[in-house]
Amino acid sequence: MLIRRAQLLDGRTVDIRLTDHIDEVAASLAPRRAETVFDAAGGTVIPGLHDHHVHLRAAAAALDSVHVGPTTVRSRADLADVLAAAPVGIDGWIRAVGYHESAAGPLDRATLDDLKDAVPVRVQHRSGVMWFLNSAGLAAVGLPTHPDGRLRSYETWSDAVARRDISLAAVSQRLLGYGVTGVTDATPGLGADEIVTLTEEHRHGGLHQRVHWLAPGKRILHDDSLDLDELTDWITRRHSEGGAVALHCVTASQLIVTLAALRAAGTRPGDRIEHAAVVPDDSIAELADIGVLVVTQPNFIAERGDQYLADVDPADQPALWRLASLLRAGVRVALSTDLPFGGADPWAAMRAAVRRTAASGSVLNESECISATTALTMFTGHPERPDVARTIDPGQPGDLCVLSAAPAEVLDSLDADLVTATIVAGHLHLNN
């Protein structure tokens, strides 16, 4: 296809011919016979956005789960009302997502039994790493005597829950509306055969985006089971098999142990630290020295910033969701949303990276703000090299995002409403 009158971020106006890859970029290109022509009409064209950390199946499942986060639930009575009204799925479960203790206090099996005991109930913590099950749910997964019903995600108990046949079409269409042409799926625990199967499912399930996988090298860490020697051995084995590692670090303890393990085992291209939600001052230089990539989510500043300001000690707040200090130190960084545990809109994540503004208008760590150009670039990296931005040049992937405004307005607003078309592998998808 041919895109005409496209304005690039550097101010040039060009025509772009592309198939699976960009074939030509020039001031003017003549249409070929039967070639699809799209007039960008002076709007900005950028490389298609790549969300470098998402959970596809969880995102699809969340669309038909009830939401019990702090914006919906503010008391135990609210939670009871939501669960009472929740539909029971065809598999016999009630599924709820997005829970946080600030909504209605700690959850366990006894609490859920009081609220809803007739059918199996699963409530997912908004972090994605913990589920809370009632007694009926524990019986359904073969754990009737479990003491508290607090189970970690991706452990063997979940194998007893029948996987729903979930279409990814709705998730894909939503991402196309944001100009997202590719995603990196961060679901841990997947083997090579399962990835092949899921790839086929995604293709037939209406997923248009290109998919890159972190599994089987993705690992979630937990503060109560950190073992430096075991983690070092696991990284060493993974490297010896030719693979990279992606380590989920949301606390300072997890990051410190991860850095020590990477220092002992050595790093290889592709090694990543996911989230880096808390980075102490003395860890910044080590991140840069080791050279490992950090994939982080500034959108949580906008989504949860007020709670951080209320709950986190002011002395610890400067370590939250760093960006500018990492870049100044030479740390390799890319951005993502953590969909569905974070909001799906990468433009909102960019705005949060630039403004660091919570819902109330309060600013968290203004010194960590970055420029709009930098934030946008950090969503255009290659799947295998997230910190290396793709460009609009011959040979680059044929994945583009077309916006209705000039570059200055795009960078000033960072607004998904400006996306008019998304092109994946040369195939045009128009926004309605």
Question: What is the spatial distance between Cα 155 and Cα 157, in angstroms, rounded to a whole number?
Answer: 6
Q: Is the pLDDT of residue 156 over 90?
A: no
In this predicted structure, what is the pLDDT of residue 190? Answer: 77
The reply to whether 36 and 117 lie within a common domain is no
In this predicted structure, what is the pLDDT of residue 343? Answer: 96
Question: Which of helix, strand or coil describes residue 338?
Answer: coil
In this predicted structure, what is the pLDDT of residue 225? Answer: 94
Dihedral sign from CA coordinates of 301, 381, 218, 140:
positive
Q: Is the pLDDT of residue 26 over 80?
A: yes
Q: What's the order of all strands across the beta sheet hosting 210-213?
A: 49-54, 180-185, 210-213
The reply to whether 122 and 258 lie within a common domain is no
pLDDT band at 333 (very low <50, low <70, confident <90, very high): very high
The reply to whether 349 and 267 lie within a common domain is yes
What are the Cα distances from residue 30, in Å, to 35, 221, 397, 418? 10, 55, 21, 27
And the tokens for 36? 């699809």
The reply to whether 372 and 406 lie within a common domain is no
CB 51 within 8 A of CB 183: yes
The reply to whether 228 and 261 lie within a common domain is yes
- Write the CB contacts of 387 (distance below 8 Å, at least 6 apart in sequence): 293, 332, 333, 334, 378, 381
How many structural domains comprise the chain?
A: 3
Following DSSP, what letter does each residue of 361-387 receive, concatenated?
A: S-BS-GGG---HHHHHHTTSB-SSSTT
Question: What is the spatial distance between Cα 403 and Cα 421, in angstroms, rounded to a whole number?
Answer: 7
The reply to whether 138 and 149 lie within a common domain is yes
Position 192 in a domain: no
Dihedral sign from CA coordinates of 225, 228, 229, 235:
positive
Position 172 in a domain: no
- Global confidence as pTM: 0.93
Position 111 in a domain: yes
Q: What is the CATH number of the domain that holds 228?
A: 3.20.20.140
Q: Is the pLDDT of residue 55 over 60?
A: yes
Question: What is the spatial distance between Cα 288 and Cα 20, in angstroms, rounded to a whole number?
Answer: 35
Looking up tokens 């002076």 gives: 42
The β-bridge partners of 427 are 424
DSSP state of 195: H
Burial class of 46 by CB neighbour count within 10 A (0 to 12, 13 to 18, 19+): buried
Which ranges of 146-270 would DSSP assign to H, the alpha helix? 169-177, 192-204, 228-240, 252-265
In this structure, what is the dihedral angle of CA atoms 80, 86, 89, 95, given to the nearest 10 degrees? -50
What are the Cα distances from residue 173, in Å, to 60, 179, 351, 418? 11, 10, 22, 16
And the tokens for 196? 């092949």
Looking up tokens 């290659």 gives: 382
Question: What is the spatial distance between Cα 184 and Cα 51, in angstroms, rounded to a whole number?
Answer: 6
The reply to whether 4 and 72 lie within a common domain is no
Dihedral sign from CA coordinates of 10, 182, 396, 267:
positive
Q: Is the pLDDT of residue 162 over 60?
A: no
The reply to whether 235 and 382 lie within a common domain is yes
Q: Of the candidates 160, 182, 207, which is a domain's last residue?
A: 160
The amino acid that residue 123 corresponds to is V
The reply to whether 69 and 120 lie within a common domain is yes
And the tokens for 275? 């989230």
What are the Cα distances from residue 146, in Å, to 134, 137, 360? 10, 11, 40
pLDDT band at 165 (very low <50, low <70, confident <90, very high): low
Question: Which of helix, strand or coil describes residue 423?
Answer: strand
How much is the average pLDDT of 262-289?
97
Q: Is the pLDDT of residue 141 over 60?
A: yes
Q: What is the CATH number of the domain that holds 98?
A: 3.10.310.70
Position 325 in a domain: yes
Per residue in 399-408, pLDDT (tens digit) is: 999 999 999 9
CB 129 within 8 A of CB 220: yes
Weakest mean pLDDT among 100-109, 200-209, 220-229, 270-279: 200-209
Per residue in 74-130, pLDDT (tens digit) is: 999 999 999 999 999 888 999 999 999 999 999 999 999 999 999 999 999 999 999
Per the structure, the complete domain to which residue 110 belongs is given by 56-160
The reply to whether 238 and 367 lie within a common domain is yes
Per residue in 170-201, pLDDT (tens digit) is: 999 999 999 999 999 999 877 777 788 777 76
The amino acid that residue 136 corresponds to is A
The reply to whether 275 and 375 lie within a common domain is yes
Kindly report whether the peptide bond that precedes residue 216 is cis, defined as omega within 30 degrees of 0: yes
Direct distance between the N- and C-terminal alpha carbons of the chain, in angstroms, rounded to an integer: 20
pLDDT band at 36 (very low <50, low <70, confident <90, very high): very high
And the tokens for 385? 């090299």
Position 187 in a domain: no
Position 148 in a domain: yes
The reply to whether 298 and 428 lie within a common domain is no
In this predicted structure, what is the pLDDT of residue 133? Answer: 97
Position 208 in a domain: no
Position 26 in a domain: yes
Question: What is the spatial distance between Cα 67 and Cα 405, in angstroms, rounded to a whole number?
Answer: 35
Question: What is the spatial distance between Cα 183 and Cα 401, in angstroms, rounded to a whole number?
Answer: 14
In this predicted structure, what is the pLDDT of residue 163? Answer: 59
